[in-house]
A and B are shown apart, each in its own frame.
Chain A
Amino acid sequence: MKTFPTGGVHPPENKITANAPIRPLPVTGQVVIPVSQHIGAPAAPVVNKGDIVKAGQIIAAGKGFVTSNIHSSVSGKVNKIDNVTDITGYRQTAVFIDIEGDEWVDTIDRSDTIVQEFNHTPEEIIKKCLDSGIVGLGGATFPSHVKLTVPTGKKCDILIINGVECEPYLTADHRLMLERGEEILIGITILMRALNVDKAFVGIENNKPDALAHMTRLATGFKGIAVHGLKVKYPQGAEKQLIKALIKREVPSGRLPLDVGTVVHNVGTAFAVYEAVQKNKPLIERVVTVTGKFLKSPGNFLVRTGTPVSRLIEAAGGLPEDTGKIVAGGPMMGKAVSSPEVPVVKGMSGILVLSQDEAGRKEKEPCIRCAKCVAVCPLGLEPYLLMTLTELKLFEKAEAEKITDCMECGSCSYTCPASRPLLDYIRLGKTTVLKMARERNLK
């Protein structure tokens, strides 16, 4: 069975919502749509207070290249454009819309019919992705049109589609593959056209045998798409690890997958691309797994962006009494939200409700030099050393030890028997080193 060679851990899978079909969440009340739901420059609002908007209408336009458009996910009236607390607790600009009815922009095809044929040129597809505000739905929210634009001098020969979903608990991509497999495969064909490649590999971990079998069966009807099962190992869903696992190419330190002739997109993104190109539908809703061992009815929901997280938790049976933490994303890389009122954004793949017991941290103990963190680091770094260097403020040395390669998967902190906050310090060291490098480049 294929997998990546260095490091990795296998946390308990806890995929309790794997058999829960995707349920659409009814839209009521108010949505709050932040203008920055992607990596890059925030979009600038193009609507004013009091404007009537329809679902799918653009409400904030991106400026520059690495940016994305934001669309209204509902129909209604713009209540105000104001600051809202995002998951980190910091405030950012958002458009508040009071929902009235559910009217969509006329050009959007809302039927369930699957549209196979397309004859768009790569440029048209990339334009469509930009206009529809498509971003990477695996969690990083990198604007997709940027990834599809191959710079001159570089060549892409294989497209990799990420259906790994290696984070415990999350099942959004799993359900999407089972229920919207054909649409995803058409989306992959569209992505292949945009990148001008004739081969695509879909990687799925073998803890999802139903999705793996389903996708393999469907893929026989599509030219150039091969589905591969992968051994279950975290963080296989990371770009560089998936490339290594599937096509045995190694992305050098500080470089991009395009440097080894490949581009990675998530299955969710492939589905969004299908909807944007074939159905004219911008990215205004996504599948979110709402899960947790103590939730009454955990499940997978189709949610409009801007819906408060609290409404999702209500739909899953309400907040259990001894809730310790609400995590946006999976338990490994997700971030605790500062308040349950934060809005759902494009990159939110799951809401995980943890009890007090599960959420607590263990007391930090001295390092016992067992080197487990070194063994599990998928990038071959030395987490214990990077933490110490950051503690001692030896940032030049940390840079020489390639601290900036860290992708913050958290395998080191997860595995440490002394409960040392390795990733917390490495993340601090990484941001400091990146800041230093930026200042150096300015000089």
Chain B
Amino acid sequence: MNSVIPLTILILSAIACLAAVILWFIAQKFKVFEDPRIDEVQEILPAANCGGCGFAGCRNFAEALVKADTFDGLVCPVGGASVMEDAARILGKEAPEIEPLVAVLLCNGTPEYCPQTSVYGGVANCRIAHNLYAGVTDCSYGCLGYGDCVTECKFDAMYMDPATGLPVISDEKCVACGACVKACPRNIIELRKKAKKDRKIYVACSNCDKGGPARRACKVACIGCGKCVKVCQFDAITLENNLAYIDAAKCTFCRKCPIECPTNCILEINFPPRKQKIEAEAALNP
């Protein structure tokens, strides 16, 4: 009777030792080598798992960084230049220069400018509405206003403005992960180069209709008149499909095109108020 407990302990210990030996051999046999640098790189990534880099998550991106010969085309939009530099230091590679981007809505069709012409009683979801029909206004290109982009934003950088029915993007919070760009069925959100003091000049319209129908649908639609193209001295503006586009890389913020635009669809944001002289000039050449 007294020998039962020691015997049990002995047998169990023997089984444990045997199992440990077998497990050790199996572990050696099926060992997967993993580059320790992957963990190191993952450590410095923002861990947002937003997918803005084009990979499924931060771990995948870290693996891609370690595997890659150069950092060409690999950018963490959330971490930006500092994170990429850190990663480059760990991996002994050269960090590319990154220009920070910010999401911009290419539509200014508030109810005031773009009047409602029909009623939609369906599901409040942009993709569903876009599949069904052109929307409650006569503009079939502009913002539908059901907020798919806001739902997708993981950084709390967007909200729907109930007054305008348009999403508002916060320049400070936006990390340019591109989730909203993908979510928008109308493709009217663009990632643009971020400038000093968050200054922006862009065509806030996506309407490709001819001037007449575009103007009838919305007061601030681009009518494709080409005045901005003519006034721009830096070849930054192109006109395609009755729609002007300002290349942020070429734009020097000379602020000439917003005055020239007859429908005020070119917005200038975060600029100081214009001087009287320019305004007087604008009044002379409407």
Instruction: Mark A residues whose CB is within 8 Å of B.
Output: 83, 85, 87-91, 335-336, 338-339, 359-361, 364, 421, 424-425, 427-428, 431
Q: B140 contacts the other chain (Cβ, under 8 Å)?
A: yes
Give Cα A89 to B138, complex, Å.
7
By the criterion CB–CB under 8 Å, are B123 and A338 in contact? no
- Which residues in window 121-147 of B have CB below 8 A to A? 121-123, 125, 127-128, 131-135, 138, 140
19 residue pairs A–B, Cβ–Cβ below 8 Å? A83-B209, A83-B210, A87-B133, A89-B118, A89-B133, A89-B138, A89-B140, A90-B140, A91-B209, A339-B118, A359-B121, A421-B122, A424-B122, A424-B123, A424-B132, A427-B131, A427-B132, A428-B128, A431-B131
Give Cα A383 to B135, complex, Å.
26
Chain A proximity of B213: nearest CB distance (Å): 7
By the criterion CB–CB under 8 Å, are B213 and A88 in contact? no
In the assembled complex, which residues on chain A have CB atoms less than 8 Å from the CB atom of B210? 83
| Size bracket, chain B contacts | 10 to 19
Q: B117 contacts the other chain (Cβ, under 8 Å)?
A: yes
Q: Per-residue 0/1 for B96-131: is the Cβ within 8 Å of any A Cβ (1 yes, 0 no)? A: 000000000000000000000110011101011001
A84, closest chain B residue (CB): B213
By the criterion CB–CB under 8 Å, are B213 and A83 in contact? yes
Give Cα A148 to B128, complex, Å.
35
Partner of B132, one of A85, A88, A339, A364: A88
In the assembled complex, which residues on chain B have CB atoms less than 8 Å from the CB atom of A425? 123, 128
Give Cα A339 to B123, complex, Å.
20
Partner of B121, one of A361, A427, A428, A431: A361
In the assembled complex, which residues on chain B have CB atoms less than 8 Å from the CB atom of A336? 133
Chain B proximity of A271: nearest CB distance (Å): 31
By the criterion CB–CB under 8 Å, are B122 and A89 in contact? no
By the criterion CB–CB under 8 Å, are A88 and B123 in contact? no
With A338-B118, A339-B117, A339-B118 known as contacts, the answer to whether A88 contacts B134 (CB < 8 A) is yes
Q: Per-residue 0/1 for B202-230: is the Cβ within 8 Å of any A Cβ (1 yes, 0 no)? A: 00000001100100000000000000000
With A90-B140, A361-B121, A424-B122 known as contacts, the answer to whether A338 contacts B133 (CB < 8 A) is yes
Chain B proximity of A362: nearest CB distance (Å): 10
By the criterion CB–CB under 8 Å, are B133 and A424 in contact? no
In the assembled complex, which residues on chain B have CB atoms less than 8 Å from the CB atom of A431? 131
B118, closest chain A residue (CB): A338
Give Cα A425 to B117, complex, Å.
25
In the assembled complex, which residues on chain B have CB atoms less than 8 Å from the CB atom of A85? 134, 138
Partner of A421, one of B117, B123, B134, B140: B123
Give Cα A85 to B213, complex, Å.
10
Q: What 10 A-B pairs are tightest by C-beta distance, nearest first?
A: A89-B134, A88-B133, A89-B133, A421-B123, A424-B123, A90-B134, A361-B121, A424-B128, A90-B140, A428-B128
Chain A proximity of B275: nearest CB distance (Å): 42
In the assembled complex, which residues on chain A have CB atoms less than 8 Å from the CB atom of B128? 421, 424-425, 427-428
Chain A proximity of B182: nearest CB distance (Å): 11
By the criterion CB–CB under 8 Å, are B213 and A89 in contact? no
In the assembled complex, which residues on chain A have CB atoms less than 8 Å from the CB atom of B138? 85, 89
With A424-B128, A428-B127 known as contacts, the answer to whether A89 contacts B121 (CB < 8 A) is no
With A90-B140, A91-B209, A428-B127 known as contacts, the answer to whether A338 contacts B134 (CB < 8 A) is yes
Give Cα A86 to B138, complex, Å.
11
B210, closest chain A residue (CB): A83
Chain B proximity of A397: nearest CB distance (Å): 17
Give Cα A91 to B121, complex, Å.
22
Give Cα A335 to B133, complex, Å.
9
In the assembled complex, which residues on chain B have CB atoms less than 8 Å from the CB atom of A83? 209-210, 213
Give Cα A244 to B135, complex, Å.
38
In the assembled complex, which residues on chain A have CB atoms less than 8 Å from the CB atom of B117? 338-339
- Which residues in window 246-277 of B have CB below 8 A to A? none
In the assembled complex, which residues on chain B have CB atoms less than 8 Å from the CB atom of A359? 121
A431, closest chain B residue (CB): B131
In the assembled complex, which residues on chain A have CB atoms less than 8 Å from the CB atom of B131? 427-428, 431
Give Cα A87 to B117, complex, Å.
14
**Apart from A88-B132, A421-B123, A421-B128, 6 more pairs, CB < 8 Å:** A91-B209, A339-B117, A339-B118, A424-B122, A424-B123, A428-B131
By the criterion CB–CB under 8 Å, are A90 and B133 in contact? yes
Give Cα A427 to B210, complex, Å.
31
In the assembled complex, which residues on chain B have CB atoms less than 8 Å from the CB atom of A89? 118, 133-135, 138, 140
Give Cα A317 to B216, complex, Å.
30
In the assembled complex, which residues on chain B have CB atoms less than 8 Å from the CB atom of A91? 140, 209, 213
Give Cα A338 to B135, complex, Å.
9
B212, closest chain A residue (CB): A82
